[in-house]
Amino acid sequence: MTPVAVGELLDLEVERIAFGGEGVARHEGFVVFVPLVAPGERIRAQVREVRRTFARAELREVLAPSPDRRSAPCRHFGTCGGCQLQHLHHPAQLRTKVEFVQHALKRIGGIWWQREIPIRSAQEFGYRIRAQWQIAPRGPDQPPAIGFHRAGSREVCEVESCPILVPELNAGLARLRGMGAEHGLPRVLDMAAGAEGVATDPPLPGFAVEPITQGVGADTFGFAPQTFFQGNRVLLQELAAHAVGERAGYAALDLYAGVGLFTVPLARNHAQVTGVESDPHAVRIGRANLARNGCENATLRSARVEDALRSLLRAVAAGKAQPPDLVVLDPPRIGARAAMPLLAQLAAPRVHYVSCDPATMARDLRVLLGADYRLLDVTAFDLFPQTYHVETVARLALAAAE
């Protein structure tokens, strides 16, 4: 029997924020997750769901607020599911995200990282260059509802503007809203802002034609609304520079390369660079990015990462290739579970792992740390202010190579 029941009101003290944005509290030792709270607060919450090992509750009253709490700048916060941390001052958000990384390393990776994890940040609003709009028809002669999913729901929370988006995207939303139902808008629309304006997928009249471009330092990258490209244009250059590092070398390998955000700068300090990406559309745009930035010493291969690693391992075993000096990998949220044993076998002297999910990163790093690698540094990047998401770069070196 659990010590709580659906509908019960509980007075709780919040211990911390869990990855996902919910606060962690306990009632008679039983874990209760509550959104929209801050660590150290005393709250009253009503239980809405009970599982075998935990419960979820809705905040009813803040009995003793944290000094980290603020009034959310967006009037849709709490209803819209896009943001989870707007009720916290930005410095508190940053501390929370570092704790996400520390907790994942220790609990999932078994990694007791004693050194500081710095977090790099910039402006907390008006940074995002990508949006995925949810569109719901409302009947004949009525404009559709356009916005994001409601928190915990697939229903549409209609928004007039979003404070985390760059102004161009909010202008694009206004233009989209003005198009009305007669244009046959899709249920889901990807939108991105670049130097050429705002592009959509599927394409709509009056918007830019993809690929659009974004400058990152001295380089320029084409991308499309439906291809992966980091959404925070303010921190792109800093992230790329840290992920690539300053060391020069002969060969580098960029796994899950996307449209070449790391492939291009790697070509600046390595004689040969190979990027690997499985999305054919991203590969086409990425190859154009290599040409656009004069990277004649770099290639982008269309393949699954595991297949590319197996092929390279066979070439190394046959004496036809050498392991690269550096491997940079930026896998999707699910991580690189299938690729990690192959990467460990490749034994490149240095590996830089870029992650948007601390849990899968910690799981994958454990494989390398069990294969004679050591962790050099861990740095967090606040690419997604107001949300629970955090980008992390972990840099490792093979012990024998140091």
157 is catalytic: no
- Number of helices (H), then strands (E), in the chain: 8, 20
Determine the Cα–Cα distance for residues 276 and 230; give it in Å rounded to an integer. 17
C-alpha count within 13 angstroms, C-beta hemisphere, residue 271: 5
Determine the Cα–Cα distance for residues 126 and 170; give it in Å rounded to an integer. 10
Determine the Cα–Cα distance for residues 152 and 129; give it in Å rounded to an integer. 24
Q: At what angle do helices 90-107 and 358-369 cross, to 10 degrees?
A: 40
Pick the catalytic residue from 83, 157, 162, 356. Answer: 356
Beta-strand pair 249-255/156-158:
unpaired
DSSP symbol at 73: S
Closest CA to 384 of 19, 25, 24, 135: 19
User: Could you check whether the bond before residue 211 is cis, i.e. omega within 30 degrees of 0?
Assistant: yes
User: Could you check whether the bond before residue 202 is cis, i.e. omega within 30 degrees of 0?
Assistant: yes
Beta-strand pair 119-120/54-64:
unpaired
Catalytic residues: 356
